């Protein structure tokens, strides 16, 4: 099969931990051909199809020069996305306006016959922090608001809270306010922008000391191991990008319950891969743009998450 990745620049990959690279490696191992482009290279013109200027690549096995691209001939036309057997949208957040526009181009490509994973409409319909609202039975006390007074009242009730922007990634913009309320007003002003921006507020979950667990759901089923991202030092954030330590571990009974409940719902909407973040027994986010942690789990447990993903991809393609 011919597989196109829509992703960040290949030159920026840190292949020792990159999940997209792990997918590519497993696909090539099975004999599939690889191509890549960036979202900025997508385009459409009336009367034609959604196209992209793509690079056909092969993995070399070398850590430094990890891929080799076929030369692109001068004047070579872009390729229609429908010419590929599958298109994998793996652009990292932030989910900004250009990401949003890219999902519309990818959805048009679907209308033309392309198979896109995760489905573009599902990406738009599942903002990663707000998606938890659909599953109240699995979340802790949570507030989404622009109202500064509502935030203050939530703090009065719950005393120890976490505040974060809805468009943050990698742990950016996350604040903890304890019972003393120190700097709450300033934090609200920073995140809320005087009522211009919505804020998510959650009761602080002390189980974060054991890690913010990434439970991967592939093809509607939870992967048997998760990655607990454990805060280091005095940090409250477990995100790897914020210095958290990743420790792979078997799913708990609660983790599995969550994965098995959410998995079929997400799959039915075209989300072949999702990353459910769990602290203690509570879901805090549902990541669908470009979930990671494949390599960390494989390196520590031997569970080949990339193989599970390619199994699910091949099954999805064979079913149509």
Look at residue 74 in the predicted model and tell me its pLDDT: 79
b/e code 36-60 from CB counts within 10 Å (16+ = b): bbbbeebebeeeebbbbebbbbebe
Whether 125 is in a domain gets the answer: no
129 domain-assigned: no
Give the pLDDT band of residue 172 (cuts 50, 70, 90): confident
Residues 184, 264 share a domain: no
Whether residues 96 and 150 share a domain: the answer is no
- The answer to whether 283 and 139 have CB atoms below 8 angstroms apart is yes
Global pTM reads 0.94
Q: What is the mean pLDDT of residues 254-261?
A: 98
Average pLDDT for 127-142: 95
The number of folded domains in the chain is 3
Residue 55 · residue 36 · CB < 8 Å: yes
> Is 125 an active-site residue?
no
Residue 127, in any domain of the structure? no
In the predicted model, is pLDDT for residue 169 greater than 80?
Answer: no
User: Of 26, 38, 277, 296, which residue is the catalytic one?
Assistant: 277
Would residue 237 show up in a list of annotated catalytic residues for this protein?
yes
36 plus 106 within the same structural domain: yes
| Confidence bin at 290 (pLDDT 50/70/90) | very high
| Whether residue 215 is found in the same domain as residue 194 | no
Give the pLDDT band of residue 302 (cuts 50, 70, 90): very high
Shared-domain flag, residues 173 and 211: no
Same structural domain, 155 and 218: no
Catalytic residue among 90, 115, 129, 213: 129
Give mean pLDDT, residues 187-203: 94
- Answer yes or no: do 254 and 189 share one domain: no
Which residue in the list 214, 239, 255, 296 is annotated as catalytic? 214
Q: Are residues 11 and 99 in the same domain?
A: yes
Residue at 145 is within a domain: yes
If asked whether residues 223 and 185 sit together in one domain, one would say: no
Determine, yes or no, domain membership for 134. no
Marked catalytic residue, from 118, 192, 239, 287: 287
255 found inside a domain: yes
pLDDT digits (tens, 9 = 90+) for 37-78: 999 999 999 999 999 999 999 999 999 899 999 987 778 899
pLDDT at 113: 98
Catalytic residue status for 229: yes
| Residues 6 and 115 grouped into a single domain | yes
Q: Examine residue 132 and state whether it is found in any structural domain, yes or no.
A: no
| pLDDT at residue 229, rounded to an integer | 94
User: What is the Cα–Cα distance from 55 to 70, expressed in whole angstroms?
Assistant: 7
- The verdict on residue 130 lying in a domain is no
Catalytic (active site) residue 287: yes
pLDDT at 236 over 90: no
129 is catalytic: yes
Annotated catalytic residue within 164, 203, 213, 239:
164
At 173, is the pLDDT very low, low, confident or very high (cuts 50, 70, 90)? confident
170 band by pLDDT with thresholds 50, 70 and 90: confident
Strands 2-6 and 86-89: parallel
pLDDT value at residue 156: 98
Q: What is the pLDDT of residue 244?
A: 86
Marked catalytic residue, from 25, 118, 229, 239: 229
Residues 189 and 268 in one domain: no
CATH number of the CATH domain containing 170: 3.30.1490.20
Q: Which domain holds residue 186?
A: 141-204
Question: What's the mean pLDDT when you consider all of the chain?
Answer: 95
Which residue out of 55, 237, 239, 255 is catalytically annotated?
A: 237
For 29-43, the pLDDT digits (tens) are 999 999 999 999 999
For residue 243, pLDDT beyond 90: no
Q: Would residue 214 show up in a list of annotated catalytic residues for this protein?
A: yes
Tokens of 233: 């030092």
Q: Are 188 and 81 in a shared domain?
A: no
pLDDT at 238: 73
Query: Mutual orientation of helices 19-29 and 305-318 as an angle, nearest 10°?
Result: 60
């Amino acid at each position: 099969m011919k597989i196109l990745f829509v992703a960040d620049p290949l030159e920026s990959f840190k292949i020792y931990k990159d999940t997209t690279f792990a997918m590519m490696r497993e696909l090539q191992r099975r004999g599939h051909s690889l191509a890549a482009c960036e979202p900025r290279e997508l385009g459409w013109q009336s009367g034609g199809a959604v196209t992209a200027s793509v690079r056909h690549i092969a993995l070399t096995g070398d850590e430094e020069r990890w891929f080799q691209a076929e030369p692109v001939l001068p004047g070579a036309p872009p390729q229609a996305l429908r010419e590929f057997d599958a298109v994998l949208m793996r652009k990292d957040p932030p989910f900004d306006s250009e990401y949003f526009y890219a999902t519309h181009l990818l959805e048009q490509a679907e209308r033309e016959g392309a198979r896109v994973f995760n489905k573009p409409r599902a990406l738009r319909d599942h903002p990663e922090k707000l998606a938890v609202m659909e599953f109240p039975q699995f979340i802790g006390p949570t507030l989404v608001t622009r109202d500064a007074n509502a935030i203050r009242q939530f703090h009065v009730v719950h005393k120890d809270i976490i505040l974060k922007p809805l468009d943050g990634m990698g742990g950016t913009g996350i604040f903890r306010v304890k019972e003393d309320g120190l700097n709450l007003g300033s934090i609200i002003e920073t995140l809320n922008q005087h009522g211009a921006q919505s804020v998510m507020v959650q009761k602080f979950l002390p189980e974060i000391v054991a890690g913010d667990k990434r439970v991967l759901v592939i093809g509607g089923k939870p992967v048997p191991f998760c990655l607990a991202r454990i805060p280091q030092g005095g940090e409250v954030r477990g995100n790897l990008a914020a210095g958290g330590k990743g420790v792979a571990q078997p799913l708990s009974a609660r983790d599995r319950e969550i994965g098995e409940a959410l998995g079929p719902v997400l799959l039915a909407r075209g989300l072949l891969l999702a990353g459910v973040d769990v602290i203690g027994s509570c879901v805090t986010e549902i990541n669908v743009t470009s979930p990671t942690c494949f390599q960390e789990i494989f390196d520590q447990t031997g569970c080949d998450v990339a193989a599970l993903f390619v199994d699910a991809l091949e099954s999805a393609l064979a079913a149509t």
